Amino acid sequence: MIKVSSDKELDNFRKTREGYIYSDYDGTQGSGQYNKLHSAGCTTCFTMTAEVEGIGFNKYYFHTIGEAIRWLQQNRRGKWVLCESKSDPINVPGAVLTNGQ
């Protein structure tokens, strides 16, 4: 897991279209409906900005879906969702991923 620290770093992850980007909107404080896991190839990722901690929400990059799911289960305890965008490869037919709820 890599905590994204700048827009340039986020852009580098988006350009490869490999891996997964987690947008941590409200951590464990809210319902988690806005805490979204995206594949790096999702068009939604291309509109994101990397916010500095304390100013906005954080972004995290994961190399594999397994790494992302393990971190989210341990650190967000069901308070996250998969991106719902039709453009996100994470939503391919037959993909079975769960946030542990």
Which is it for strands 20-24 and 2-3: parallel, antiparallel or unpaired? unpaired
Residues 57-97 pLDDT 10s: 789 999 998 899 899 999 988 888 888 776 666 655 444 45
Instruction: Label the pairing between strands 2-3 and 81-82.
Output: unpaired
Strands (E), the chain: 2-3, 20-24, 36-39, 58-62, 81-82
pTM: 0.79
* Domain regions of the chain by residue span: 2-91
Q: Could you read off the pLDDT of 9-40 as tens digits, one per residue?
A: 888 888 888 899 998 887 667 677 888 899 88
**Which position has the token pair 């992850």?**
13
